A = this chain, B = another copy of it.
Amino acid sequence: MTELLGLPPALTAAPAVRAAFTPYATLGAALAVQAALARALAAAGLCTRAQAEAIVGACDPARYDLAGLAVEAARAGTLAIPLVRRLTAEVAKTDAEAASFVHRGATSQDVLDTSLVLQLRAALGVVRADLDGLTGALRALARQHRGTLMTGRTLLQPGPPITLGLKAAQWLGGVARGVARLDKATEEALVLQFGGAVGTLAALDQAAPAVAQGLARALGLKLPPAPWHAQRDRLAALACAVAVLTGSVAKVARDISLLMQAEVAEAAEPQGGGRGGSSAMPHKRNPMACTVALAAAHRAPGLAASVLAGLPGEHERAAGAWQAEAAPIAELVLALSAATAAVTEAVAGLQVDAARMRTNWDALHGLPLAERLAAALAPTLGRAEAHALAERLCAAAVAGGHTLAQAAAADPAVAARLDDAALQKLMDPATYLGQAMAFTDALMAEHPP
């Protein structure tokens, strides 16, 4: 509906992910469930193979009028009712008896939940592959810039130096942990829904287990210990896993968008291919990939909240909570897809300006190494006094337009304790990277390709 408003995930997600959630895809999934059910009924001896195939033959989404179905579904409050009616009529055209086996034993929610599961499987398969691309690009960036020195920034203010490699490895850590959580949540959530009217499969009598197993097998889904019409925790956990991961992907975009600021200019996402221009400003090189990812992350918390709100639904099928759940779950997956595709492009083509990183560092006049200077003075001055002296030297350096090294060298209390060589070494950022590379390596090792 709203695909051209702003930059919604529905427009910027991967085409195959978008395709998984179209109305046509929902119809196709619902018919796939009906076809699999027919075959499971036959396998369990409830109908003949020919009857099953008559149903299967009618389960072609192209045969149905989607717009008309949508109108009826909106009235009925579910797609399943008008679809079952039309499918039954379609089957009856060729085999009146077979028609009586359509939807046998199932309830609307069985069809719709399992359809959602099938659509999520399709969509998440695509997203998952894209995520491998992203972690690969992050790994490559971390490797390539393992030693590239840049300013560390906390609370948007400069601190001691880090490496771009560490920054990239931290991004990798967040994304890779999220992927692992997504995998686990996906495996748990993508299971068959099949319980009949109130979740007992009573209409199938003794054949119920066989039909359920056959249906699960036909669809390639795991069979859970029981239906889950009113226990939505698996889907909610999946929604949360998607939301967390979207946030971690957008974290990369946040940092790149800040590094792209003209006054920082340490990195830039690649331009071209219609991306990054401005309708009013010919010179603009906008962080469009980052913007897409950040927009996706802006949606995720509210979407996850909508899914979480539905958990305490009523009795054996909720009135309102369940029906509100599928759309935000799909939108979360679209958001993750959009963010992943955009950030992968940004990272894979990232234009790194290592020289500018050094220039920006040098422009800080060594102030972020005040911590180091204070530490070097603490053993002889005391920590509090050393901290206070370092603060005064910083102020003096700023006031005089000097470097901290210059201000320190001019201070008798420092001069009495540190000779020039020691001071120079203290003020060299390359010798103050600490565990930056070790942490980079550890993160890379924790998340191998």
Contact code string A358-384 (vs B, CB < 8 Å = 1, else 0): 001001100110111011001100111
Which of A209, A273, A383 has most B Cβ within 10 Å? A383
Q: Are the C-beta atoms of B283 and A391 separated by less than 8 Å?
A: yes
Q: Is the interface of A mostly helix, strand, loop or mixed?
A: helix
**Copies of this chain, count:** 4
Cross-chain contact B280 with A295 (CB below 8 angstroms): no
Q: Evaluate contact between B6 and A324: CB separation under 8 angstroms.
A: yes
A355: interface (CB < 8 Å): no
Residue of B nearest to A89 (CB): B384
Give, as a whole number of angstroms, the nearest-CB distance from A195 to chain B.
Answer: 8
Asked whether, in the complex, the Cβ of B291 is within 8 Å of the Cβ of A298, the reply is no
Contact indicator per residue, chain A 386-402, by CB within 8 Å of chain B (1) or not (0): 11101100100000000
Complex-state Cα separation, A325 to B92, whole angstroms: 48
Kindly specify which of A37-45, A169-177, A417-425 makes contact with the partner chain. A169-177
Q: Which residues of B contact A445 (CB under 8 A)?
A: 225
Which residues of B are found within 8 Å of A435, using beta-carbon distances?
200-202, 208-209, 226
Counting CB contacts under 8 A, is A427 at the interface?
A: no
Whether A314 contacts B254 by the Cβ 8 Å rule is yes
Give how many A residues have a beta carbon under 8 Å from the other chain's beta carbons: 206
16 extra A-B contacts, CB within 8 A, seeds A11-B70, A160-B198: A4-B79, A8-B327, A85-B384, A103-B279, A152-B197, A152-B316, A153-B317, A154-B315, A156-B257, A162-B199, A166-B226, A197-B280, A226-B440, A251-B312, A261-B261, A280-B371
**Selected A-B contacts with CB under 8 Å, 17 pairs:** A4-B70, A8-B327, A100-B382, A107-B281, A162-B316, A173-B228, A203-B280, A203-B372, A203-B434, A225-B439, A231-B251, A236-B244, A247-B311, A263-B363, A280-B371, A298-B310, A305-B305
